[in-house]
Structure 1
Amino acid sequence: MNVSDLDPFGQGVARHNGKALFIQGALPGERVDVTITDDKRNFSQAKVKRRLNDSPQRVTPRCPHFGVCGGCQQQHASIELQQQAKSRALARMMGSRETPAEVQEIISGSPWGYRRRARLGLNYHAKTQTLQMGFRKSQDNELVNIHQCPVLVPQLEALLEPLRECLSGLKAVRRLGHVELVCADNGPLMVLRHLDALHDTDRQKLERFSHSFGVALFLAPDSETLTAVGEDEPCYHSDGLRLMFSPRDFIQVNDAVNQQMVARAIEWLDVQPTDRVLDLFCGMGNFTLPLALRAESVVGVEGVAALVAKGEYNARHNSLKNVTFFHENLEDDVTRQPWAAQGFDKILLDPARAGAPGVMQHVISLAPSRVVYVSCNPTTLARDSEALLAAGYQIRRLAMLDMFPHTGHLESMALFERI
């Protein structure tokens, strides 16, 4: 079997009986003997029995857990091959079969030590009386006991073993849910989900760990409550602004790519001092606040109330008075929402994986000269872009965002300009 391509999920692609065959672990240019594991009408899946040659773009995975842990799928492929494969997939999805779109740019940072946030599952193994801490297996709920993770920022990777030792010594070790690690610009933090009230001695051990390793501690007895043990509020910087956030707020995991993404969006929108800009699905203002440094006024609309409150707080904290945030569900009828009747020169959208079908027609009716769409799902980007193209917009720029190297996540951004 000759492998001809790599899909975004790290599977080699071949042809078998007239249909696509996806082969886990195989790379383009390799010849492999395979076992078919799933044979469907339009495609099949297989695993490698024997590899007859190695692709020159095959590399040795850096992580000892690769192949078992479900976090990464592509550490066996060079970063150049990963980026090429994702760019080709994006070009196919954004164009037609006959005429793929052109991906003009790959926005990337370091392929290692980039991840500033991780959620680690915790499970006490009664038979061995040890605490397992790690990520889930691929297509399995079983935990992989992680001892190192080279995609984590070094400050977080260095915490893995001392954190495991600390948690293993708690009286509540059998009743822990998960631990989340975040590397804020003012230091790392951890959120511990515990299923029962913590004994005083456990709190003391956690506080000693917090002080010893300079980690801000947050305790979560349930999914709604978050108790800070200390006073530092986490923050990160974007375009010279200091943005405060709660450990449960969404922030982009890859800081280097986020910084470039924000700068590119501002550049593509060509924001002028007289512009009124609309930022839909704005979160806590990752784009909104940098846009406000350049525009006459910016409106941010977001469906999560806590993020709207944090955006307003950060606007005040950074002395930005030309920003207005609205808490609105953008899947509802947006034409009745208070921001909808305003006029806007430029629009930015950064929706979740479901895309923005509920607002596309209203975006068109507002007739902005430029639209930047930031996407974490190229399938919904392609779908939503059809409305803009049908309304007379053209794709002027298309970039692949390598936000999650070694994984199957394909993120992108596109600039649409009215003809």
Structure 2
Amino acid sequence: MAQFYSAKRRVTTRQIITVNVTDLDPFGQGVARHEGKALFVPGLLPGETGEVTLTEEKRQFARGAVKKRLSDSPERVPPRCPHFGVCGGCQQQHASVSLQQQSKSQALSRLMKRDVDEVIAGPEWGYRRRARLSLAFSPRDQTLQMGFRKASSNELVDVHQCPILAPRLEALLAPLRACLSELETIRNPGHVELVLADNGPLLVLRHLAPLSAADRQKLERFSHSEGVALYLAAQSDTLEQVSGEAPWYTSDQLRLSFSPRDFIQVNDAVNQQMVARALTWLSVEPGERVLDLFCGMGNFTLPLAKRAQSVVGVEGVAALVAKGDYNARLNSLKNVTFFHENLEEDVTRQPWAKAGFDKVLLDPARAGAAGVMHHIVKLLPKRVVYVSCNPTTLARDSDALLAAGYQIRRLAMLDMFPHTGHLESMVLFVRE
């Protein structure tokens, strides 16, 4: 058989090798050594031996697939979900939660060049209060498929249960499937979003074809019988509320109203602890001014306003700024102001920044906050709390503060997404 060399990927033979796994990476892959380089093997845990077929080989690492597991780690546990291994949502249900947290903490520690002080965690199961499920109609057997994508594939996994979903959302899967299967427009489906607010669950149906009057009646009957607020989205940028009241959740005993498509933290239990820890770390005094960057609709901003003299929240999405203003009024907080700004630009030149700030909090998206870090340094805050959903950009952005004389005083791993490869964290920087 002819083989062709590629600079990006070397063609490997299908020989079977025996490897010993010594580590677990944050994505749930076992790590072994083969011919002097790292070999990543999904499905194997530290301390396990297995027969592996090489599937990809590059200059600095290789990947393999398990043919046969020869031993079991004491940290191996039975996956709770019957779709695990096929559905791409979870990668680590076969590993104990303690091992998952240990591997993520070690990865964070290596990137930040500092030990992790604590792990902030909540329930292992039933923690996810938001999910988007794809829909597909199978002409062959005339059935509706509803679920998540396979790992590294667009193929749909027909999901009938999901133990990481909040129980009230998981309980909706069967009746929702039955309802959607009866719609006249089911041959041209879109997707559904399920969200559990503090005042109950809600459903957003993105439909690609117009709904008939009969279809709308079926959906409304479902919403009333299941106690679900119903929203319809004929277009990706439209939202029609059909039934139920506007959703809200609490942060530091404050009520935050949100739109079904607004970003909220998926794990409520960890979010509550994360907000509390940020407030403690910043140690805000009554006479201080605080700046909250990438503030969203006020998840941190409003709790900070309960403690500070004044708080400024800055966000790049205008709709979230408006929602932040609304939530401030809803909670009778008069010492907080929200601004819509491009955070890649120098925010220190804005009139609201002239008086300076004593403390700063930032919670950017996965791309991080490279454009704003040097501007934070110019403000000379005494303390900075950085909440991160990407440890790589966190490590990069930290360099600007460290170079300016700040020191890391606290580092926490946030176990926001148990059983998955997502690693979130928060850091306290103090200016010496």
- In the superposition, the TM-score normalised over structure 2's length comes to 0.95
Say yes or no: does 1:369 pair with 2:382.
Answer: yes
Q: Distance in 2 between matches of 1:130 and 1:148?
A: 17
Q: Distance in 2 between matches of 1:336 and 1:395?
A: 27
What is the CA-CA distance between 1:85 and the residue it aligns to? 0.3
The one of 17, 21, 30 aligned to 1:12 = 30
- In the superposition, the TM-score normalised over structure 1's length comes to 0.98
Encode CA deviations 1:175-224: one digit per residue, 9 max, x unaligned. 22100000000000000000121100000000000000000000000111
What is the CA-CA distance between 1:271 and the residue it aligns to? 0.7
Contact 1:326 1:339 in 2 (8 A): no
Aligned twin of 1:385: 398
Aligned twin of 1:252: 265
Q: Secondary structure, in 3 states, of the residue corresponding to 2:124?
A: coil
Q: Distance in 2 between matches of 1:342 and 1:137?
A: 51
The one of 211, 232, 248 aligned to 2:245 = 232
Say yes or no: does 1:81 pair with 2:99.
Answer: yes
Percent identity between matched residues is 75
Q: Distance in 1 between matches of 2:80 and 2:68?
A: 22
The one of 101, 113, 116 aligned to 1:103 = 116
Say yes or no: does 1:125 pair with 2:161.
Answer: no
Q: Secondary structure, in 3 states, of the residue corresponding to 1:415?
A: strand
What is the CA-CA distance between 1:335 and the residue it aligns to? 4.1
Q: Which amino acid aligns with 1:291?
A: L
Say yes or no: does 1:408 pair with 2:421.
Answer: yes
Q: Distance in 1 between matches of 2:189 and 2:352?
A: 44
What is the CA-CA distance between 1:337 and the residue it aligns to? 3.5
Q: Distance in 2 between matches of 1:277 and 1:344?
A: 5
Aligned twin of 2:51: 33
Say yes or no: does 1:334 pair with 2:347.
Answer: yes
What is the CA-CA distance between 1:231 and the residue it aligns to? 4.7
Contact 1:107 1:402 in 2 (8 A): yes
Encode CA deviations 1:307-355: one digit per residue, 9 max, x unaligned. 1010000000000000010001112343444434331000001000010
Aligned twin of 2:15: none
Q: Distance in 2 between matches of 1:18 and 1:198?
A: 60
Q: Distance in 1 between matches of 2:306 and 2:377?
A: 25
When structure 1 is superposed on structure 2, of 334-343 and 159-168 the one drifting more is 334-343
Aligned twin of 1:200: 213
Q: Distance in 1 between matches of 2:80 and 2:309?
A: 48
Which residues of structure 1 form unaligned runs of 5+? 96-100
Q: Secondary structure, in 3 states, of the residue corresponding to 1:173?
A: coil
Aligned twin of 2:4: none
Q: Distance in 2 between matches of 1:38 and 1:397?
A: 39
Query: How many residues are treated as equivalent by the alignment?
Result: 414
Map residues 287-366 of structure 1 onto 2, 5 A cutoff.
Answer: 287-366=300-379
Aligned twin of 2:188: 175
Contact 2:346 2:375 in 1 (8 A): no
Contact 2:230 2:244 in 1 (8 A): no
Q: Secondary structure, in 3 states, of the residue corresponding to 2:249?
A: strand
The one of 182, 186, 203 aligned to 2:199 = 186
Contact 2:220 2:243 in 1 (8 A): no
Q: Please tell me the root mean square deviation across aligned C-alpha atoms, in Å.
A: 0.8
Cα pair distance change 1:339/1:45, threshold 3 Å: farther
